[in-house]
Amino acid sequence: MLLYSSAMALDRFNRNIHYLRISLTDMCNLRCVYCMPEDMTFRPREEILQDEELLRLVRVFARMGFDKFRLTGGEPTLRENLTALVRGMRDTPGVRELAMTTNGITLKQLARPLKDAGLDRLNISIDTLNPDKFRRLTRWGRIEDVWAGLEASKRAGLPIKINAVIVRGQNDREDAVDLARLTFDHPWQIRYIEVMPMGRVSDFQKSAIVPEDELRATISEALGPMDLLDGGKLDGEARMFRLKNAQGSLGFISAVSKPFCAGCNRARLTADGRLLLCLLRDKEFNLMPHLRNGATDEDLMEMIEDNIWHKPWGHGLAQDIRPTRNMSEIGG
């Protein structure tokens, strides 16, 4: 018997959990210094959710009231059969919004096919506009490839947000200002994300956190004051501001300095089939063996709802709780 309404997945704090972030792969074509070690190894294909398994889980989650889905990685554009997966998800009853977070490197080729398959919008990760620094932060990347992907996405008609993970001593001053300056000429949302301590690079990350107030002061000193938008209401995870005379906006995702756990509405599905209820906690439930050993959709729904009911209140960073997985293994 299902414990809760199949039209709405509630946790014990009465939060409606209806947003699923799906990691399509743990692989990536970059090695960003805040995300993973350079010698990262990835899971063999048979340990990753297969296409039919992934689409089945999307149908199950949609039946439970999940209506917002985001595709992540690793780097999601490395997933085989990506456009067919997007089309299959788009055609699933109940899926209201389908977005993707990507480093943008392959979008020059994929933006139009993804739009045609039914993708609604993109978040593109750009931590700096400086070519040398971009290569240093990503270890392998070329900003020119990302910018070409961004332009291709514009031509395809995909709405764009730009994500920047801010790392102290790396991109927390002139690079952050340069990104904010883009909003004067483009109707984009630039989203600044506080780095979070995770996995094998958690010690580096902890020392690299730049609190939101400090970052906003740096940008305002260079570009002028910014106005708070929507009375401080979050846009997803971001607190929104706008510089005077800017077309676009600035969003600050500050999970460390200004946690937003009370309004959390999301769960995560890792590439290897594990349900994760908090990005920064290790507790997870492995759906893979049940998928592969005869569980019905109703069985899966009951397992998922039971785990959602026990979703933790907050991430526990104040108690120095840190997950052991790297960000690329979770899906961001």
pTM for this entry: 0.89
Beta strands in 126-280 (DSSP E): 160-166, 189-194, 226-228, 239-243, 249-253, 266-269, 274-276
Domains located in the chain, CATH noted: 19-330 (3.20.20.70)
Contact predicate 35/26, CB 8 Å: no
- pLDDT score, position 255: 80
Cα atoms in the Cβ-side hemisphere of radius 13 Å centred on 269: 24
- pLDDT score, position 152: 98
Using CA atoms of 78, 82, 86, 89 in order, give the dihedral in degrees to the nearest 10.
-100
Walking along the chain (332 residues) 10 residues at a time, the average pLDDT comes out as: 59 96 92 76 88 98 98 95 98 98 96 98 96 90 95 96 93 96 96 74 62 96 97 91 98 85 91 89 89 97 96 67 55 57
What is the Cα 129 distance to its own chain's centre? 21
Kindly give, in sequence order, each residue whose CB lies less than 8 Å from that of residue 268, ignoring residues fewer than 6 positions away.
20, 21, 22, 23, 275, 276, 277, 279, 330, 331
Interval 250-300: pLDDT, tens: 999 988 888 778 889 999 999 999 999 987 776 899 999 999 999 999 999
Task: Report whether the peptide linkage leading into residue 74 is cis, meaning its omega lies within 30 degrees of zero.
Answer: yes
> What single DSSP character describes residue 238?
B
List the one residue out of 311, 74, 328, 287 whose CA is nearest residue 198: 328
Contact predicate 211/194, CB 8 Å: yes
Kindly give, in sequence order, each residue whose CB lies less than 8 Å from that of residue 269, ignoring residues fewer than 6 positions away.
20, 21, 22, 23, 49, 57, 275, 276, 287, 331
Interval 66-96: pLDDT, tens: 999 999 999 999 999 999 999 999 999 999 9
- pLDDT score, position 1: 36
- pLDDT score, position 103: 95
